[in-house]
Chain A
Amino acid sequence: QQPVQSPQAVILREGEDAVINCSSSKALYSVHWYRQKHGEAPVFLMILLKGGEQKGHEKISASFNEKKQQSSLYLTASQLSYSGTYFCGTLTTDSWGKLQFGAGTQVVVTP
């Protein structure tokens, strides 16, 4: 079952912050975050492992709450280059290598 992402879309002005959420109905082993620009392939941002680790990429960070089976991606002081569609991918504890993605969150950063 695909993880559920929210919101579906967000429009930001440069410098504003945003949060993208990802939740699963199954126990999670790890969460991946990717960004896709229009017409391109998804590009890896970070992996979070069970244990609540926070990772960072530029001014993009994420958290992972394994008890709630949720992850959040934080876009801080957004830049125009942050525009794109963000996907979370999950590996559940009952699967082996089965990487499933959510429907994506479209982020538009305007000047």
Chain B
Amino acid sequence: NAGVTQTPKFRVLKTGQSMTLLCAQDMNHEYMYWYRQDPGMGLRLIHYSVGEGTTAKGEVPDGYNVSRLKKQNFLLGLESAAPSQTSVYFCASSYRNGDLRLNTEAFFGQGTRLTVV
């Protein structure tokens, strides 16, 4: 059981380039999340999904797009990378525990360290 797998683990981009970060989970979780982590800022929610085909904005969605075409995958896209997007990106997934408003523990991927120069 791989859990949550993020691809790639490291990447250096030039300003203006585009890229897609892939998050894959094999636990049949309904909820999936993308966070960015910057020093002193904690984990900030970029976008999230409560099910296949649905996505919603988090706290810091500008400059990012997401898609959840398959339940097990959640893609994060940067259309035109900027130095301000230099960060560590974490994907997480969670199971919906019956009550639609509750989820259980979130499982995190190992993170993607992205540098935009």
Give how many A residues have a beta carbon under 8 Å from the other chain's beta carbons: 27
Q: Which single member of B43, B58, B104 contacts A42 (CB below 8 Å)? A: B43
Cβ contact within 8 Å between A44 and B102: no
Of the listed residues A87, A91, A100, the one surrounded by the most CB atoms of chain B closer than 10 A to its CB is: A100
Is B72 interfacial (CB 8 A cutoff)? no
Q: Which residues on the A side are within 8 Å of B58 (C-beta)?
A: 98, 100
Instruction: Give the contacting residue for A97; candidates B41, B43, B48; CB below 8 A.
Output: B48
Q: Is A109 located at the chain interface by the 8 A CB criterion?
A: no
- The answer to whether A99 touches B45, judged by C-beta atoms less than 8 angstroms apart, is yes
Q: In the bound complex, do residue B31 and residue A97 qualify as a contact, i.e. CB atoms below 8 Å apart?
A: yes
Q: How far is the CB of A40 from chain B (nearest CB, A)?
A: 8
Given the complex of chains A and B, what is the CA–CA distance between A42 and B93 in angstroms?
12
In the complex, the answer to whether A101 meets B43 with C-beta atoms within 8 Å is yes
Nearest-CB residue, chain B, relative to A45: B105
> Contacts of B45 on A, CB cut-off 8 Å?
98-101
Tally inter-chain residue pairs, CB-CB below 8 A.
73
- Whether A18 is near chain B, meaning CB under 8 Å from some CB there, is no
Q: Is the CB of A2 within 8 A of B102?
A: no
Contacts of B96 in A (CB 8 A): 97
Interface 1/0s, chain A 90-111, versus B by CB < 8 A? 0101001111111110000000
Q: Tell me the residues in window 14-36 of chain A with beta carbons closer than 8 Å to chain B beta carbons.
A: 29-30, 32, 34
Inter-chain contacts of B104 with A (CB < 8 A):
47
Partner-contacting stretch, out of B18-26, B75-83, B106-114: B106-114
Tell whether B59 is near chain A: CB-to-CB under 8 Å: yes
B102 engages A93 (CB within 8 Å): no
Answer yes or no: B90 CB below 8 A from chain A CBs: yes
A42 to B109, CA, bound (A): 9
User: Which chain A positions have C-beta within 8 A of B43?
Assistant: 42, 87, 89, 101, 104
Q: Can you name 10 A-B residue pairings with CB atoms under 8 Å?
A: A2-B42, A32-B106, A42-B108, A91-B103, A96-B101, A97-B96, A98-B48, A99-B94, A100-B58, A101-B35
